[in-house]
Amino acid sequence: MNLTVRLFARAKDLAGADRLTVDLADGATVADLRRALAAACPALAGLLERSAFAVNGDFADDALSLPLRAEVALLPPVSGG
């Protein structure tokens, strides 16, 4: 399945885009997505290791299987306030 991931802050700058699309096997997990993004955009690798993911607006563990047509976002460490 093709999955598009929203990017923010430094991740967006490193990728030069506010979204990245990767091709994943059906049933792939967040951990698989993390590896696929690092392969697709090596500049993101360091930040990816310490970023979280959101799936349909909720924080997602690495073990979560990605549902089809989910809205997925890469969330680098937050710094609001």
Note the residues at the interface with another protein (CB under 8 A).
6, 8-10, 13, 47, 50, 54, 57-58, 73, 75-81
- Owner of token pair 């399945």: 1
Least separation in angstroms between residue 21's CB and another protein is 18
Least separation in angstroms between residue 55's CB and another protein is 10
- CA 46, CA 65: separation in Å to the nearest integer? 23
Long-range contacts of 22-25 (CB under 8 A, 24+ apart): 24/66, 25/1
Identify which of residues 26 and 80 has a Cβ nearer to another protein in the complex.
Answer: 80
